[in-house]
Amino acid sequence: MELVRATEAAAIRAVPFIGRGDKNAADGAAVDAMRKFLGTVGFDGLVVIGEGEKDDAPMLFNGEHVGTGHGPACDIAVDPIDGTSLTAAGRQNALSMIAVADRGSMYDPSAVFYMDKIVTGPEGHGVVDLRQPIGENIRALAKAMKKDIADIVVAVLDRPRHAELIDEIRAAGAGTRLLLDGDVAGGINAARYDARIDMCVGRGGTPEGIITACALKGLGGFIQAKLAPRDDDERQKAIDAGHDLDRILEIDDLVTSDNTYFVATGVTDGQLVGGVRKKGPIIRTESIVLRGRSGTIRRVVADHLAEKWL
């Protein structure tokens, strides 16, 4: 619940910036609120994956210590707003999120900001593989799920780099769900048994991949990833850091511990959670909490007195 308070605060503080066209202002307000509330949590948290470095947005920086300093030593991955562009435009599916795991258990991408990913529910284990053509993966997953290929829905970030991938998905007979931003929610929805999405694929942020892996620990989901350096300089940094750029990373490579927590609060409405709503004197938030060790999903709906947030 302490973690939920931090994502709730970040989401609430981002609300005045929804649809205002300034993603950095929204991110800055969310970061300040999240940092303040994380400072009250009874743990020794180390931010190993902060958000914002790649676009000079405000951030909780890598190496920052949060929490009271007492209690369990933890790795923290934060994204005060996953979907800053969505927030600025007033679109759906913006989230505030935190992932927590035992200290030293989260993968260090060494400043490689993007990775190729494939995410499914439990049915994908031993069935799909990032090295296979997307058509083969779709057919294999459809068979494992006992679904017609025409009923398979694949989520992909709507980016020019994915034009060929989208064509291949459709050529295989599956449908697409194009994401404007924020592939963490897409990955989680791919792993949920009651969601419409069956698979999430494509190139997206490395921080988002590790956060997604933490969430999938509580869902029994499947993820594979491969680092995708943007240029020769980033490639050399990865090699110097000892990364094998041909390696396929499995879920236990991305997060070695099963003692994981993933918390997200909706900023704007989405399939995963509803967005922040003002109801008279009340501000209502909706959050989801996934715990890896117990395999539990909890939904938290909270009403906050608006006067406390003035």
Helical H segments across 125-268, by residue range: 134-145, 163-171, 183-191, 206-216, 232-240, 251-254
Answer yes or no: is 303 a known binding residue: no
Answer yes or no: is 84 a known binding residue: yes
Buried b / exposed e across 78-117, counting CB within 10 Å, b at 16+? bbbbbbbebbbbebbbbbbbbbbbbbebbbbbeebbbbbb
Q: How many CA atoms lie within 13 A of 6 on its CB side?
A: 29
Answer yes or no: is 67 a known binding residue: no
Answer yes or no: is 160 a known binding residue: yes
Buried b / exposed e across 250-265, counting CB within 10 Å, b at 16+? ebeebbebbbbbbbbb
H-run or E-run covering 87: helix 84-89
Answer yes or no: is 107 a known binding residue: no
The letter for the amino acid at 238 is A
Cross-strand pairs, 165 = none
Answer yes or no: is 27 a known binding residue: yes
What CA–CA distance (Å, rounded) separates 35 from 113? 23
CA 207 from centroid of its chain's CA atoms: 8
Answer yes or no: is 39 a known binding residue: no
Token pair of 32, please? 């300040």
Answer yes or no: is 205 a known binding residue: yes
What CA–CA distance (Å, rounded) separates 58 from 40? 21
Coil, strand or helix: which one is 55? helix
Token pair of 274, please? 């509803």
Answer yes or no: is 161 a known binding residue: yes
Answer yes or no: is 148 a known binding residue: no
The letter for the amino acid at 263 is V
Answer yes or no: is 258 a known binding residue: no
Q: What sign for the dihedral angle of Cα 262, 267, 271, 274?
A: positive
Answer yes or no: is 183 a known binding residue: yes
For the chain, what percentages of helix, strand and coil (3-state, to nearest 5) are there? 35, 30, 35
Answer yes or no: is 82 a known binding residue: yes
**DSSP label at residue 79:** E
Answer yes or no: is 198 a known binding residue: no
Answer yes or no: is 307 a known binding residue: no
Which residues are known binding-site members for Mn(2+)? 27, 51, 79, 82, 208
Which residues are known binding-site members for substrate? 82-84, 114, 159-161, 181-183, 205
Which residues are known binding-site members? 27, 51, 79, 82-84, 114, 159-161, 181-183, 205, 208
